[in-house]
Amino acid sequence: MVRDRLVAADFLLDGQLDRHAWLTRQELGRRVCVIHVVEADSARWARRIAFRDLLRRDAGARAEYLRIKRAAEAETSNCDEYTQAKTATVDRLLREGQT
C-alpha cells in the first residue's frame, strides 16, 4: 500500500479516514510537505481531482484559494483548524466552478 511505503520512507502518518490518509515530512520540527493518499475513483478522489482541475483553469479561483490558505496558515494553530478554515471556500469554489 502507498501509505505504508511512505511511512517506510520517513513520512509521518498524521491522520486517516475511510480510504484517505495524510502524511507529512518534517524538517527541524516544522512540517514541510503534506501528502494525501486517497483511493482512486472514490468520492474523495473525484472531489480532489475536480478542485485540482478548477485551480488549473481558473486564475481567479487560484488567487482566492491562495489568499484563504495564507490566512488560514496565519490564523490557525493545527492541521484540523487549517483545513476547516479553508473548507467553506473550497466548497463554494467547486459549486461555482460547476456552473
User: pLDDT per residue over 56-89, tens digit each?
Assistant: 999 999 999 999 999 999 999 888 899 999 999 9
The model carries a pTM of 0.80
Kindly compute the dihedral angle of the four CA atoms of residues 46, 52, 56, 62, in this order, to the nearest 10 degrees: 130
Residue 43 has pLDDT above 70, yes or no: yes
Residue of 8, 40, 43, 45 lying closest to 23 (CA atoms): 8
* The 20-27 sheet, strands edge to edge: 12-17, 20-27, 30-38
The confidence score (pLDDT) of residue 26 equals 87
Domain ranges of the chain: 1-39, 41-99
